[in-house]
Amino acid sequence: MDIAEKIYKEASRLPEHLAKEVLDFIEYIEKKHRFQEKEIQNLKEAQIPVMHHIWDNEEDGVWDEC
């Protein structure tokens, strides 16, 4: 039995109002991780203009071939 089946099995035994809390928590986790992924991507993109002069220079040109 995979984890989704286990969650379903446990949630299906709960009264409706508690099952709703489980669903709310799952939705919270989904939103939290999507935000973090987007936040990390934004940080990566923000460093590009700042680091451009370090990453793109003739002295380190040998690394451009890798």
Position 66 confidence tier, pLDDT thresholds 50, 70, 90: low
Reduced to 3 states (helix: H, G, I; strand: E, B; else coil), residue 51 is helix
Rg (CA), the chain: 23
pTM higher than 0.85, yes or no? no
The C-alpha atoms of residue 47 and residue 53 are separated, in whole angstroms, by: 11
Residues 27-60 have pLDDT tens digits of: 999 888 887 788 888 888 888 888 877 777 777 6
Among 2-11, 13-22, 27-36, name the one with the lowest average pLDDT. Answer: 27-36
Domain ranges for the chain: 3-56
Q: How many other CB atoms are there within 10 angstroms of residue 19's CB atom?
A: 14
Length of the chain: 66
8-13 CB contacts, 8 Å cutoff, 24+ apart? none
